[in-house]
């Protein structure tokens, strides 16, 4: 049975696995993103690979920080016993998300799949920023349950990269689409999927989460 504690432990486990994988894949296994960049065949703008790589590494590092900070703050123990830490860690999460968003803004115009992919990433940027702002507004008004719900909706988006790659593989291998098409479709599907997952988790009564 997936009770409150087990659900949280599962979230922590998935988060840790994804962080370790992201660091290994992007800093150790393929730090020059050779495989990913080889798919960018018909870009309208010239890509400065050295700059793109630096930005991408900052993007991944802060994405991992956002994943850790967010996962820690959903712990009910942290929330009940270490309020000050929860607040500081919350700001670490917000700053990390902003940096992921900013770096995403740089990379979006060069996205694999061209303009349609760029538009999806920009949409994602706006949605993510909106969720974070709502979470801050609600906690400033001391509306704890609403704050919690906006944070859940926001946290769902830390799984963006995982979702895009998983769906790309499904469309490519399962439906025989070419990589670029699969990737573009997956960005749009990921937005819908992560919105739905976030919304579903917010429906769980607050006593049953974290
Ligand atoms: C929080 C977890 C995230 C991680 C771990 C992550 C990781 C990565 C990595 C490793 C890349 C390089 C290409 C690849 O291998 O996929 C990348 C590219 C990119 N990411 Fe993220 N990302 C995350 C979230 C986001 C979010 C939420 C957005 C949008 C708001 C975003 C926007 C982008 C963009 C625009 C690119 C360039 C895509 C392209 O060139 O086609 N990422 N990300």
The confidence band for 143, taking pLDDT boundaries of 50, 70 and 90, is very high
For ligand 1, is residue 158 a contact (CB within 6 Å)? yes
Q: Does pLDDT of 128 surpass 50? A: yes
What was the pLDDT predicted at 205? 73
Nearest CA to ligand 1 atom 30: 125
Q: CA 25: distance to chain centroid?
A: 16
Token pair recorded at residue 141: 């008004």
- Structural domain range at position 116: 4-208
Contact criterion met (CB below 8 Å) for 111 and 95 = no
What was the pLDDT predicted at 207? 58
Mean pLDDT over all residues of the chain?
94
For ligand 1, is residue 122 a contact (CB within 6 Å)? no
Token pair recorded at residue 7: 């659900």
Rg (CA), the chain: 18
Q: Does pLDDT of 110 surpass 80? A: yes
Task: Give distance in angstroms: CA of 69 to centre of ligand 1.
Answer: 18
Token pair recorded at residue 173: 């291998």
Atom of ligand 1 nearest to the CA of 108: 35
Q: What does each C-alpha distance from 33 to 53, 99, 201 come to in angstroms?
A: 8, 20, 34
Q: Does pLDDT of 210 surpass 50? A: no
Task: Give distance in angstroms: CA of 104 to centre of ligand 1.
Answer: 7
Overall number of domains in the chain: 1
Token pair recorded at residue 120: 């999806």
pLDDT digits (tens, 9 = 90+) for 155-198: 999 999 999 999 999 999 999 999 999 999 999 999 999 999 99
Q: Does pLDDT of 36 surpass 90? A: yes
Nearest CA to ligand 1 atom 1: 158
Three-state DSSP state, 199: helix
Q: How far apart are CA 163 and CA 92, in angstroms?
A: 24
In the chain, the N- to C-terminal Cα span, in Å, equals 16
Phi, psi of 33 (to 5 degrees): 50, 40
For ligand 1, is residue 185 a contact (CB within 6 Å)? no
């Amino acid at each position: 049975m997936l009770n409150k504690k087990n659900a949280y432990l599962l979230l922590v486990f998935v988060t840790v696995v994804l962080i370790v994988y992201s660091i290994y894949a992007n800093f150790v296994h393929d730090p020059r993103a050779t495989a990913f960049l080889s798919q960018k065949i018909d870009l309208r703008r010239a890509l400065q690979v050295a700059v793109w790589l630096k930005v991408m590494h900052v993007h991944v590092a802060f994405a991992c920080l956002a994943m850790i900070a967010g996962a820690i703050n959903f712990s009910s123990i942290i929330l009940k016993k270490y309020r000050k830490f929860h607040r500081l860690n919350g700001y670490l999460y917000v700053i990390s998300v902003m940096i992921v968003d900013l770096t995403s803004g740089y990379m979006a115009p060069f996205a694999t799949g061209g303009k349609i992919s760029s538009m999806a990433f920009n949409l994602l940027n706006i949605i993510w920023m909106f969720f974070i702002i709502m979470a801050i507004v609600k906690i400033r008004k001391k509306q704890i349950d609403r704050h919690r719900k906006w944070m859940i909706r926001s946290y769902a988006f830390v799984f963006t990269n995982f979702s895009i790659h998983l769906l790309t593989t499904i469309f490519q291998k399962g439906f025989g689409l070419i990589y670029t098409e699969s990737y573009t479709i997956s960005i749009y599907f990921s937005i819908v999927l992560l919105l739905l997952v976030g919304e579903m988790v917010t429906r769980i009564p607050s006593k049953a989460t974290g």
